Amino acid sequence: MKNIEGLEAESRVDILLWSEWFYSFFQGLQRQILDAFNGINQVEEKAPADYVGELDKSIERGLFDFLPKVYDCPVLSEETPSPWPPAFRKFWIIDSLDGTHNFLAGLPIFGTIVALVAGGKAVFSAIYLPMDEQSLWRGLYVAAKGYGAFRRLPSGGLEPIQVSGQGDLEKAFLLLEGASKKLYTFHHIQNAVFATERVRNGLSFAYSLTRLAAGGCWTRGVDIIIAEGAKQWESFAGELFVTEAGGKATDRRGRPLSLQNYSDLVFSNGVLHDQILALNCPAFR
């Protein structure tokens, strides 16, 4: 055991133990998630094209009870509005159901994102992908500052993950995250789309982040994510996962993420980062 960077020296953490706690928590919800996915759900439209259903609320209630038992500090959620930036130095931040549109449409590309933030940076994060767990038995991903990034094996161990080594932008796989109908109107995204070999959008942040962080674990993995209008619960978990897997995360002008700067971002395998930034920012050309 060792201390997670950013937490107090007395906060000794066994990342394998934490991963098993999270796995047990999500396994307790797996049947409910699958039943909801296979059924018709009652939903509310919080704002235009922004929906919340009973499953979101149920997972959120569970996390609000569970997370302080793992590390005792406040919990902030997408579904429970609160002032930002928060007054707390340490807090949990969660998206109980990332990819709601996919979930409601019967597309198995959704998940839960959790991050523990201390001093303005995520120091621990977990992403759970229920359909990956159902089909691949590898649905839980965890990352901790100073430890690395991992996915849970069926045996219960943790397998290190790493970003791809792709250095040729023309062969790169790009994922886009944000409002799908608006993404292609941005000039820097148009430039990136034409510069890369493969492009997908609308997967969900939970899926995109795990596929980038584990890009080196697949035959031709994901190399880059460009995000427009990312939310806090996506950005901080994303930065931790990608950097602990060997990649890089900045805004699209190369500036670091912060409690005030977390919306328009570039995540990459690191090798391609400056090439992608150069498509938007002349300073990198």
Name the percent of the chain in helix, strand, coil, to the closest 5: 35, 25, 40
Tokens representing 125 are 């994060």
> Could you give the angle at the alpha carbon of 33 between the alpha carbons of 220 and 205, nearest 5°?
40
Alpha carbons 272 and 46: distance in angstroms, whole number: 38
Alpha carbons 280 and 154: distance in angstroms, whole number: 42
Kindly report the backbone phi and psi dihedral angles of residue 213, in degrees, each rounded to the nearest multiple of 5, phi listed first: -60, -30
The dihedral over CA atoms of 189, 279, 272, 248, expressed in degrees to the nearest 10, equals: -70
- What separation, in Å, do the N-terminal and C-terminal C-alpha atoms of the chain show? 44
Alpha carbons 211 and 191: distance in angstroms, whole number: 22
Annotated binding-site residue? 78: yes
- DSSP assigned state of 256: P
Amino acid in position 143 = A
Tokens representing 126 are 């977990």
Length of the chain: 285
Annotated binding-site residue? 56: no
Alpha carbons 108 and 229: distance in angstroms, whole number: 23
Q: Which residues are annotated as a binding site?
A: 78, 95, 97-98
Q: Which residues are annotated as a binding site for Mg(2+)?
A: 78, 95, 97-98
